[in-house]
Structure 1
Amino acid sequence: MTQLTMKVTTAKGYDETVELVRASLGDAGFGVLTEIDIKATLKTKLDVDVEPQVILGACRPQLAHAALQADPSIAALLPCNVVVRADGDRTVVEAFDPQAMTAMAPDAAVELRDIAADARARLQGALETVENA
C-alpha cells in the first residue's frame, strides 16, 4: 500500500515553522486555500487542551484541474492537506502524499500518475526546505 503521508521534523518553533511552511508551499507553486486551527477548535468545541496544530489546505490550481479532469471524484481529496504540529521541543510537518490518490482512484490511475508525481515532487521540495532551514 502507498504511504499516505510524507513527514519531516524540525527543531524550529511552531509559529516559525508555520510561516516557513507557508513560504515553502508558495515557492513550490501552492496557495493555501484553507486553514484549520486544531488547538483552537478542540478548545472551543470540547474544552480540551492540545499542542498547537494547524491543517493548511494547499492547492496548485493547474494540478487540481488536471486531476479533476482525470476523475471528478478526486475533489474529495483536494486540497492537499499539510499539517504542522508542535511535538514537545520539535515541530512536525506532514503532508498528504499525492501518489496515494492513484491507489484511491484505480480507474484514473494512469492519468493521475504524472499529476501525482508533480504534486509529490513539489510538496517534497517544500518539506525539505523546512527540514533544512
Structure 2
Amino acid sequence: MSYALSMTVHAPYAQTVEATRVALADQGFGVLTEIDLARTLEEKIGVDIPPQVILGACRPPLAHAAVLAEPSIGLLLPCNVVVRALDDSTTLVEALDPGIMVGLTHNDAMAPVASEAGERLQAALASLSERSS
C-alpha cells in the first residue's frame, strides 16, 4: 500500500510551489507551516539536496472532525505536502494519503474525514497538471 498521493508537474520548482499553494487554497486548505528542507539540511549539516519544501496544510473543518473522532490525531496533523524539484523543469508534489490515518488509528470514525481530505488533496494535485499545461 502506498502512503503517498503524488503528481509529477512539468514546471519549474518555484512555479510549482506557488501553484501548489493556490491549489490547496482552492480546496479549502491553508498552509500553517513551511519547512525548506534543502536550506535546513544545508545550514544544519552542510549537505546539498535538490530544492524541497514541506507545506503543512490544514482545512479547519476537517481537522476539527478528526480531533472529535480521534483526540490524538494531532500527531498526524497538519497534512504534509512535499514539493520537490526533480530537475530544472520537473517537480514532484506528494501528500500523505489521509487514508493512512484510519489504518494507524484503527478508528473507523476517521474514515469519512480521511476520505474527504483525500478527495480534496487529490483534486489539488490533479489541478497542478492542468495549471502547468
Q: What TM-score does the superposition give when structure 1 sets the normalisation length?
A: 0.95
Aligned twin of 1:128: 126
Output aligned runs, 1:47-66, within 5 Å: 47-66=46-65
- Note the C-alpha offset of 1:49: 1.1
CA RMSD of aligned residues (A): 0.8
Aligned residue for 1:112?
A: 110
Mean CA deviation greater in 69-78 or 16-25: 69-78
Instruction: Tell me the equivalent position of 1:42.
Output: 41
Shift of 1:3: 2.3
1:1-133 matched pairs, under 5 angstroms: 2-88=1-87, 89-106=89-106, 108=107, 110-133=108-131
In the TM superposition, residue 132 of structure 1 has moved relative to its aligned partner by 2.0
The Cα of 1:35 is off from its aligned counterpart by: 0.2
The answer for unaligned runs of 5 or more in structure 2 is none
Q: Distance in 2 between matches of 1:11 and 1:33?
A: 26
Report runs of 4+ in structure 1 exceeding 4 Å deviation: none
> 1:3 touches 1:100 (CA, 8 Å); kept in 2?
no
Query: How far did 1:72 drift?
Result: 1.1
- Equivalent pairs, count: 130
Which amino acid in 1 is paired with 2:8? T
In 2, Cα distance between equivalents of 1:34 and 1:113: 25
Secondary structure at the counterpart of residue 41 of structure 2 = helix
**Aligned partners of 2:104 and 2:2: how far apart in 1?**
12
Per the normalisation by structure 2, the TM-score is: 0.95
SS at match of 1:49: coil
